[in-house]
Amino acid sequence: MTYTRCWYHCHAATMKGGHYSVIEDAAIVVRGERIAWIGPREALPPGAAEAVDLGGAWVTPGLIDCHTHLAFAGERSAEFELRLLEGASYAEIAAHGGGIASTVRATRAASEEQLLDSALRRARQLLRDGVTCLEVKSGYGLDLPGERKLLRVARQLAGRLPLTVRATCLAAHALPPEYAGRADDYIAHVCDELLPALAEEGLVDAVDAYCEHLAFSPAQVERLFRAASALRLPVKLHAEQLSAQGGAQLAARYRALSADHLEYAGEADVAALAAAGTVAVLLPAAFYLLRERQLPPVEALRRHGVPMAVASDLNPGTAPVLSLRLMLAMACTSFGLTPEEALAGVTLHAARALGLVDSHGSLEVGKYADFVAWDIHRPAELAYWLGGELPRQVVFHGLEVTHG
C-alpha cells in the first residue's frame, strides 16, 4: 500500500456512529486529502510514508461549526449593556431599530474587503480552537448587493484559510427598512429576484430563514422554501427560538437539513424532525446571552433519535462567540448534553446539518483527513475546560495547519 503520510502514537475518538468509538494507540494513514486507513497501530499495513509522532495526544475529527453569522460589520456591545443595565429585551431593542437592523446598516456601509478582513479574523480564532469546517450565513445585507457581498466573503474564506465553508443565504433574516410594513413584498422579492440571482452566481449552498414573531411568519417562510426547492437548494430554519411558531414542523415538511435553536419546540415538533431526518442544531450561546429560561427539548430529541448538533451561532447580537469548543461546555452545563453528545454535535451531526456527512464529521476511510490532535487525557476534557488553546496540531485535507 502506498500512502503519503501517517500519524501515530495517539488515541482516536473517531465519532463513527455519533459515539466516541475510540481506537486506542491508533494510527491514521492519509493518501492525498483523504483518510486511507485508520486502526490500531499494531495493525498498520506496511508502506512507505512520512510518519508523525503525536506523543500520545487524543485525535478527533476537525470541529464543524454548522451555524454562524460570521460575516458582518461592527459590533453590538452597547446592546449587551442595555440588556444588562436597563433590562431591555432582545425584542425591544429590535423594535427600536437596534438588533439585526443596526448590523445591517453597518454591513451595507462596509466594503467587501472590510467584511472579508473581519470575517478572516473571526474565522482564524475558530480555526485555532480546532474548527476545520464552518457554515457562514448572509442576512445582514437584506438586498441583492448586500447579500451578494456577504456570500462572496463566505466563498473567499475557503480559499484564504484551511477550512471548508458552506454558504447559506439568509436574506429572510429581518425586514429591511425600505420594505417596512411590506413583509410579503420583501419575501416575494427574495423568492423572485434575489435568491435566483445569487443561486445563478453559484453563491448559495442552502437557504435559511428566521421564523419568529419579530421576523417572518410560517406562511412567508413556506413561500421561500418553495422557491428554494424550485432551485434545488436545501433549506434550514431558525425555528422556535423565542416562541412556538410551527417552524420546526414546516422545516420537517420541507425535509430541511436542520432546524436550529428549538427552545420552544414540543413533542410533536420533535417527532416531525425525527421522521424527516432533520438535524436539531442547539445554540447554547444565544440561550445564555439572552438569559433564556426555556430549554430545548433535549430529552425528547434523544428519545426520538433526532441527531443533535451544537454550534456557535456566531453573530454580533446574541452570540459573540470565538470558540466552538466553549459551546461544548455550555451545551453540557445549560442543556444537559453529555460530553460525548456535545462532541458528536460539533462533528458527525454538524456534518449532517450541512449535508456533508458522507465526506466530513468522523474519522473513517474515504472521508477528508481533517482532524485535531488535542493536549488532553480524555475526550470529555474538550467539554470541560473553559477557554485556553488545546489543539496540539490541526490537519486539514491531509496537511498540517499553521496558524498565522
Q: Which residue is nearest to ligand NIG (CB)?
A: 317
Give just the sign of the alpha carbon dihedral 327, 294, 354, 191: negative
222 binds Fe ion (CB under 5 A): no
Minimum CB distance to Fe ion smaller for 269 or for 313? 313
292 binds Fe ion (CB under 5 A): no
> Residues interacting with ligand NIG, by CB under 6 A?
69, 99-100, 103, 210, 238, 241, 286, 313, 315-318
Given a contact cutoff of 8 angstroms between Cβ atoms, the answer to whether 116 and 51 are in contact is: no
Q: Which residue is nearest to Fe ion (CB)?
A: 313
263 binds Fe ion (CB under 5 A): no
Minimum Å gap between C-beta 341 and Fe ion is 21
Minimum CB distance to Fe ion smaller for 199 or for 239? 239
Minimum Å gap between C-beta 226 and Fe ion is 22
313 binds Fe ion (CB under 5 A): yes
Q: Strands across the sheet with 391-396, in order?
A: 34-40, 22-31, 5-13, 50-61, 371-374, 391-396, 399-400
Minimum CB distance to ligand NIG smaller for 98 or for 234? 98
318: partner contacted, choices ligand NIG, Fe ion, none (Cβ within 5-8 A by kind): ligand NIG
205 binds Fe ion (CB under 5 A): no
The site that binds Fe ion (CB under 5 A) totals a number of residues, namely 1
Minimum CB distance to ligand NIG smaller for 30 or for 311? 311
208 binds Fe ion (CB under 5 A): no
Alpha-carbon distance 100 to 404, whole Å?
Answer: 31
Minimum CB distance to ligand NIG smaller for 285 or for 343? 285
Minimum Å gap between C-beta 100 and ligand NIG is 5
Minimum CB distance to Fe ion smaller for 334 or for 359? 334
340 binds Fe ion (CB under 5 A): no
Q: Which residues bind Fe ion (CB under 5 A)?
A: 313
